[in-house]
C-alpha cells in the first residue's frame, strides 16, 4: 500500500496539473456518484491527509480518494494516450484544457461537501506530512495502548497518519526493538515514543522527493537503501546477521535478530 510519502507526491502532481484550472471533464465511475458532474468548477487545491487524497473544488465540494493496495492517479496531456491499466479499472477522470488525471483501481471514490471532510478523515491522528503534525500528540496516542505491539500501533492511522509497512519495519529497527515489542515495554516508553514519532516525521519528509525510491539508511548504493525491509536472509547492514521475516497482522515484517531486542513470532 502506498505510504504517506507516496500520497504526498501524488497530491503534488495532481495539484500541479489541476489547481487553478476549470474542469472540462469529470467522470466518476462508481455507482453512487456516476451522475455527479464537476465540469465547469475550478480545482482549488489537492492535498494529502495521511494516506488519503482530498481534491477541493469551488462551490464547497471535495473528491475524497484512497489508493488502497494498488490504486494510482496518473496525469496525462489533455489529448495524450492513457496508460495505467485497462479501462474497466478506471474509477475517476478529471480533465482540464491542458491535463487529464485518471484514477486507476481506487477502492474509495467519494464526493462530499468540503465542510464534511471530517467524516472521511477526521478519525486520523496527526499527519506526519501535514500542517497538523504534533509529535507529542502522536506519542501520546501510541502510549495509550501500552500492551499493543509497536508494529501494529505504528500502522494504526488513528495514532499517526502516513506510516505503512515499509516505514513500520524501518522505524522498529531504528528503535532497536522488534515490531512485536509492546509499546509499554519500550525502554523509557515516553521518551522513546516521542523520538519514534520525530524519526517517522523526518524519514517521510526526506522521502517526498521526485525519485520515488525510499531511503532510510542514507546510502545510495543499490540494495542498501533500507535497513531491513525486503532484506530477508540478507546480512544486516549494521552487524551482518541475516535479516528475518515473519507476518504481523498478515503483512510481511522484517527485523534483525541481533540489533533488535524483544519478542518474535
pLDDT of residue 154: 98
Report residue 1's pLDDT band, with 50, 70 and 90 as the boundaries: low
How many percent of the chain have pLDDT more than 70?
99
Residue 235 has pLDDT above 80, yes or no: yes
Q: What is the pLDDT of residue 115?
A: 98
Q: What is the pLDDT of residue 210?
A: 73
Annotated catalytic residues are 2-3, 51, 251
What value does the mean pLDDT take over residues 207-234? 89
Residue 221, pLDDT score: 86
Strand ranges (DSSP E) for the chain? Answer: 25-28, 43-49, 52-57, 61-66, 72-77, 90-95, 99-104, 108-113, 244-248, 251-255
Q: What separation in angstroms does the CA of 253 have from each of 27, 154, 173?
A: 38, 13, 11
pLDDT at 149 over 80: yes
Averaged pLDDT for residues 115-139? 96
Q: Among 37-41, 148-152, 217-221, 247-251, which is the least confidently predicted range?
A: 217-221
Amino acid at each position: 500500500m502506498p505510504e504517506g510519502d507516496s500520497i504526498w507526491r501524488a497530491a503534488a502532481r495532481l495539484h500541479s496539473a489541476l489547481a487553478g484550472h476549470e474542469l472540462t471533464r469529470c467522470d466518476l465511475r462508481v455507482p453512487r456518484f456516476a451522475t455527479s458532474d464537476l465540469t465547469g468548477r475550478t480545482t482549488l487545491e489537492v492535498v494529502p491527509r495521511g494516506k488519503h487524497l482530498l481534491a477541493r473544488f469551488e462551490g464547497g465540494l471535495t473528491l475524497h480518494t484512497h489508493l488502497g493496495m494498488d490504486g494510482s492517479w496518473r496525469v496525462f496531456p489533455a489529448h495524450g494516450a492513457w496508460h495505467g491499466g485497462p479501462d474497466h479499472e478506471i474509477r475517476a477522470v478529471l480533465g482540464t484544457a491542458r491535463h487529464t488525471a485518471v484514477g486507476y483501481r481506487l477502492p474509495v471514490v467519494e464526493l462530499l461537501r468540503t465542510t464534511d471532510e471530517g467524516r472521511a478523515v477526521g478519525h486520523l491522528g496527526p499527519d506526519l506530512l501535514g500542517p497538523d503534525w504534533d509529535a507529542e500528540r502522536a506519542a501520546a496516542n501510541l502510549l495509550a495502548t501500552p500492551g499493543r505491539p509497536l508494529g501494529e500501533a505504528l500502522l494504526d492511522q488513528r495514532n499517526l497518519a502516513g506510516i505503512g509497512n515499509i516505514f513500520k519495519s524501518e522505524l522498529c529497527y531504528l528503535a532497536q526493538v522488534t515490531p512485536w515489542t509492546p509499546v509499554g515495554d519500550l525502554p523509557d516508553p515516553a521518551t522513546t515514543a516521542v523520538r519514534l514519532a520525530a524519526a517517522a516525521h523526518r524519514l517521510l519528509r526526506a522521502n517526498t522527493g521526485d525519485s520515488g525510491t525510499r531511503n532510510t539508511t542514507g546510502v545510495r548504493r543499490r540494495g542498501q537503501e533500507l535497513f531491513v525491509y525486503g532484506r530477508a536472509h540478507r546480512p544486516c547492514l549494521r552487524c551482518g546477521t541475516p535479516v528475518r521475516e515473519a507476518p504481523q497482522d498478515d503483512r510481511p515484517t522484517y527485523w534483525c535478530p541481533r540489533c533488535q531486542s524483544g519478542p518474535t513470532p
